[in-house]
């Protein structure tokens, strides 16, 4: 079958591009090796790390300073509409995103640091540092609540780190209500437990006792409070406990990110789009500057997928869209597009792991023109019918710039609108 568009990659950028095109009436297929950064990252929408400042103004300054930055290619005009588009989709999925592109929120992490982000799910917004009780304010402490069975959330450490930053906080572990059968205590296993009304009622009752004894007005919990109905789960827990509750993202797998993925997936299917996971695209077939088909690895054979247009949303080195095949060579894995990367391995890394602004190798990617089309070393368009989106685009360290989701949303929306 000949699709109108094939999107390679099922992260936020690919899914937004696919939804845009499917809702414009195209026949769309998403091919992905597996799940993407939604399942590893925070589930918040980071636009730019400007502390608790104005990220949109930061993006404008960045565009002025770096003409080949993915934000510059998507264009300033795309930033707000693309964020609004994602908000609208999440709203309709019953999982509203709140916040403003003009002011970052600072939210506690699972280590107790404060990280800036732009839009956050409604289940996390009560964690905004501006609202947390300060030491000496007379307010009851923030109660950080976890479960010993969850290996990726440590209330004592979180509370202690918040305390040294001037907040009044204490951390405790909750005894798990009795469970039937053996439970899976991963973050996703817990999220399924919180989907059960009886389980969350038990936890809520326990929280209410703690609130009654300690006068807490705010409770932090790991981001495991339900997966399909998280907003409802949190609202219900708040009602029972009698305090504001907010979630803190856990290390992967990210339940909060999965919620967004599920909403995007549902939206795409409703618009008639198809998704094929487990389809690892490893080569393309072109006629001149026109990509005709891509091939995915499947059981004991290759599958050929034809389309008029393609979107490359395979991510960076983390996502698997690029791979260093040895100590000196980086390749683009799906179509073997030319990459912009540091000239020599000596320039790949800094000696300090957490150095700012991040290791140069991770700014590598595909250079694109204003229509997101891939360019070669001489700035000639490689394929006229391919758009590159998200972390596959060169010129940005999405993690260290605090722009992971923002770039994906902006470029994915642009590709979907064309």
Residues near another protein, by CB under 8 A = 37, 40-42, 109-115, 149, 151-152, 154, 156-157, 160-161, 163-165, 182, 184-186, 249, 251-252, 316-318, 320, 323-327, 345, 348-349, 351-354, 356, 358-359, 361-362, 399-400, 404
Element (H, E) at 111: none
Report d(CA 395, CA 342) in Å as an integer: 11
What CA dihedral angle connects 32, 389, 387 and 289, to 10 degrees? Answer: -80
State in angstroms the smallest separation of the CB of 273 from another protein: 27
State in angstroms the smallest separation of the CB of 46 from another protein: 8
Report d(CA 299, CA 162) in Å as an integer: 50
Written as six digits, the tokens of 289 are 């500057």
Report d(CA 398, CA 105) in Å as an integer: 18
Q: Angle CA(192)–CA(114)–CA(77) in degrees, nearest 5?
A: 90
Specify whether the CB–CB gap between 219 and 142 falls below 8 A: yes
User: Would you say 94 or 320 has its CB closer to another protein?
Assistant: 320
What CA dihedral angle connects 348, 350, 352 and 356, to 10 degrees? Answer: -100
User: Would you say 222 or 273 has its CB closer to another protein?
Assistant: 222
Element (H, E) at 372: none
Report d(CA 359, CA 399) in Å as an integer: 11
Nearest to 330 by CA among 317, 319, 318: 317
User: Would you say 362 or 383 has its CB closer to another protein?
Assistant: 362
User: Would you say 9 or 273 has its CB closer to another protein?
Assistant: 9
Specify whether the CB–CB gap between 21 and 4 falls below 8 A: yes
- CA 289 vs. chain centroid, Å, equals 32
State in angstroms the smallest separation of the CB of 316 from another protein: 7
SS3 at position 40: coil
DSSP state of 414: H
State in angstroms the smallest separation of the CB of 380 from another protein: 29
Written as six digits, the tokens of 122 are 């409604």
Please tell me the number of Cα atoms within 13 Å of 127 on its side-chain side.
Answer: 32
User: Would you say 60 or 317 has its CB closer to another protein?
Assistant: 317
State in angstroms the smallest separation of the CB of 365 from another protein: 13
State in angstroms the smallest separation of the CB of 163 from another protein: 8
Element (H, E) at 302: strand 301-312
User: Would you say 234 or 330 has its CB closer to another protein?
Assistant: 330
Specify whether the CB–CB gap between 35 and 43 falls below 8 A: no
Nearest to 321 by CA among 280, 289, 354, 288: 280
Specify whether the CB–CB gap between 44 and 119 falls below 8 A: yes
User: Would you say 7 or 248 has its CB closer to another protein?
Assistant: 248
User: Would you say 112 or 226 has its CB closer to another protein?
Assistant: 112
User: Would you say 316 or 416 has its CB closer to another protein?
Assistant: 316
Nearest to 362 by CA among 388, 326, 312, 399: 399
State in angstroms the smallest separation of the CB of 49 from another protein: 10
State in angstroms the smallest separation of the CB of 189 from another protein: 9
State in angstroms the smallest separation of the CB of 210 from another protein: 19
State in angstroms the smallest separation of the CB of 272 from another protein: 33
User: Would you say 156 or 338 has its CB closer to another protein?
Assistant: 156
State in angstroms the smallest separation of the CB of 156 from another protein: 5
Written as six digits, the tokens of 410 are 């902006």
User: Would you say 89 or 339 has its CB closer to another protein?
Assistant: 339
């Amino acid at each position: 079958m000949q699709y109108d568009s094939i999107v390679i990659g099922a992260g936020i950028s690919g899914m937004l591009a696919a939804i845009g095109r499917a809702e414009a009436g195209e026949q769309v297929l998403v091919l992905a090796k597996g799940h993407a950064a939604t399942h590893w990252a925070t589930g918040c929408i980071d636009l730019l790390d400007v502390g608790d400042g104005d990220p949109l103004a930061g993006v404008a300054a960045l565009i002025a300073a770096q003409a080949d930055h993915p934000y510059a290619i998507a264009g300033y005009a795309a930033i707000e509409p693309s964020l609004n588009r994602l908000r609208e989709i999440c709203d309709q999925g019953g999982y509203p995103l709140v916040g403003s592109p003009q002011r970052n929120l600072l939210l506690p992490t699972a280590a107790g640091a404060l990280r800036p982000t732009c839009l956050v799910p409604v289940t996390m917004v009560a964690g905004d540092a501006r609202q947390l009780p300060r030491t000496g304010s007379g307010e009851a402490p923030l109660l950080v609540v976890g479960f010993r069975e969850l290996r990726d959330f440590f209330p004592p450490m979180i509370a202690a780190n918040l305390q040294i930053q001037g907040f009044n906080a204490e951390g405790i572990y909750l005894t798990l209500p009795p469970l039937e059968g053996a439970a899976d205590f991963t973050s996703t296993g817990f999220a399924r437990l919180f989907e059960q009304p009886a389980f969350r009622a038990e936890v809520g009752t326990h929280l209410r006792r703690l609130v009654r004894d300690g006068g807490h007005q705010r409770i932090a919990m790991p981001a495991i409070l339900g997966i399909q109905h998280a907003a409802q789960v949190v609202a219900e827990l708040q009602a029972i406990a009698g305090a504001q509750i907010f979630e803190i993202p856990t290390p992967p797998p990210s339940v909060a990110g999965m919620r967004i993925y599920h909403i995007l997936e549902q939206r795409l299917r409703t618009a008639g789009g198809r998704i094929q996971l487990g389809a690892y695209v490893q080569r393309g077939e072109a006629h001149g500057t026109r990509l005709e088909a891509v091939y995915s690895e499947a059981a004991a054979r290759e599958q050929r997928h034809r389309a008029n247009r393609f979107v490359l949303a395979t991510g960076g080195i983390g996502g698997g869209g690029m791979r260093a095949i040895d100590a000196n060579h980086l390749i683009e894995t799906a179509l073997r597009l030319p990459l912009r990367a540091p000239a020599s391995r000596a320039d790949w890394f800094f000696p300090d792991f957490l150095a700012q602004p991040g290791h140069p190798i991770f700014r590598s990617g595909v250079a694109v023109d204003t229509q997101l089309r891939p360019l070669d070393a001489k700035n000639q368009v490689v394929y006229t019918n391919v758009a590159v989106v998200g972390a596959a685009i060169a010129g940005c360290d999405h993690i260290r710039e605090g722009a992971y989701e923002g770039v994906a949303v902006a470029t994915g929306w642009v590709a979907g609108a064309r």
